A = this chain, B = another copy of it.
Amino acid sequence: METSRRPGGRSARVRDAVRQATLAELAEHGFRGLTVENVAARAGVHKTTVYRRWGSAEGLISDALELAGGEPWPIPDTGGVEGDLRGVVQLVRSGFADPELGPVSSAFVAAAVQSPEAARALHDFFAARHDQSAEVVRRAIARGELPGGVDAREVIRVAVAPVYYRLFVAHEPVSEQDADRAADAALAAARAGVL
């Protein structure tokens, strides 16, 4: 058995390999098809190691979400709140439409409606996303485009909600126009002092 001079380094490599394997398995088989055995085989890690450290498919999902939540997100900066807010919503729409990213993101949502552990991880992921994206609203307030009392995170929630609602609740397609309209609706509500 290899003994590393930097056990943290080896441990981090195992964790990264398992996370990458989890994402690949989710992309191919979704949450329903995610098993510790398949992830271990794909990562080249013994399955007892995966069971000991991640426990279950839910644990694998939670860890992968923690990784995703820490990744930087390209916050739009178009110089105006309308373009910025549309940019945020289009990022959500195009992410789910992406042939590689879409199935993984959808699997996260599916996992969270089935597993309380995954739901907690997704909650934390979205809390971070709301806070990051709210920067476009905070900038708009600073520029005087929106009143100072606006709840920046709530504007983000209301802007992106119709995209998720169509995809995961009503199971309707989402066009670019639908995404722009959702952003414009949130902006109109913020301007009207409702959010």
Contact = CB atoms under 8 A, between A and B. Distances in A.
A127 B189 CA distance: 25
Given A165-B157, A195-B185, A171 B109 contact: no
Interface stretch (A17-25, A38-46, A110-118, A139-147): A110-118
Contact-residue size bin, chain A (C-beta under 8 Å from the other chain)? 35 or more
Given A112-B171, A171-B122, A181 B166 contact: no
A126 interface: yes
A113 B158 CA distance: 22
A32 interface: yes
A171 B157 CA distance: 12
Contacts of A166: 157
A50 interface: no
A1 interface: no
Given A158-B162, A158-B182, A186-B185, A109 B195 contact: no
The A interface is mostly helix, strand or loop, or mixed, namely: helix
B114 A32 contact: yes
A188 B194 contact: yes
Interface string A163-182: 01110111110000000011
Interface string A90-132: 0000000000000000100110111000011011001100100
A37 interface: no
A168 B169 contact: yes
Nearest to A186: B185
A109 B110 CA distance: 10
A124 to B, nearest CB: 9
Interface string A21-35: 000000000111000
Contact of A126 (B113, B170, B186): B170
A195 B168 contact: no
5 contacts: A114-B114, A120-B171, A185-B185, A185-B195, A188-B189
